[in-house]
Amino acid sequence: MVLPIYLYGHPVLRTETQEVTPDYPDLDKLIQNMKDTMYASDGIGIAAPQVGKSIRLIYIDVDVLKDDMPELAGKKFVLINPVITVDQTSKTVSREEGCLSLPGIHESVTRHDRIHVKWQDENWQEHEEDIEGFLARVFQHEYDHLEKTVFVDHLSPIRKQLIKAKLMNIVKGKVSCDYRTIGYKPLKKK
């Protein structure tokens, strides 16, 4: 089932996420719904907060980029309770990023090129891997969602000021998407 994407400004994107346990209700169904939602939205990664769940769960599928980046062929991941350690000695690379929760905004973000990741998959098997290049960027971008961060938080203050109107339009619901969304709904004053 395709779920709505929660947009910038919604409190769920800034809420602390909880670890997922094997008894989490309907976890398999949630994972499938996240996949369906990501594919329907033309994304390459999605984190649980983006579908309104404050839990440590990510789905990534970068296989669609294999024509331009052959090293991404077949790269699909369900990450439960991931832990990322950034290799601070690795080079930093600036590259444009976008996000399903921030439609219409694409900005250059500087990230380290190498990370170490530990996680469990949907079968609760433990994994540990060094990831580099573009895939490391995707992992870090999605992991940020679990840490109450969105990619524009990495921008310089001047750059954030330059896109402030776009961010406010998302918060105000003045944005058009090809997918279902849920935006910030302020409490009505009495």
- C-alpha dihedral over 36, 38, 43, 47, to 10 degrees? -150
What is each CA distance from 73 to 63, 65, 177, 182, in whole angstroms? 5, 7, 28, 32
Tokens of 95: 């590259």
How buried is 164 (Cβ within 10 angstroms: 0-12 exposed, 13-18 middle, 19+ buried)?
exposed
Coil, strand or helix at 107: strand
Taking the C-alpha atoms of residue 60 and residue 64, their distance in angstroms, rounded to an integer, is 11
16 as an active site residue: the answer is: no
What are the phi and psi torsion angles at 97 (to 5°)? -130, 155
Catalytic residue of the set 96, 97, 142, 147: 142
Taking the C-alpha atoms of residue 110 and residue 93, their distance in angstroms, rounded to an integer, is 5
Which positions are annotated as active-site residues? Answer: 142
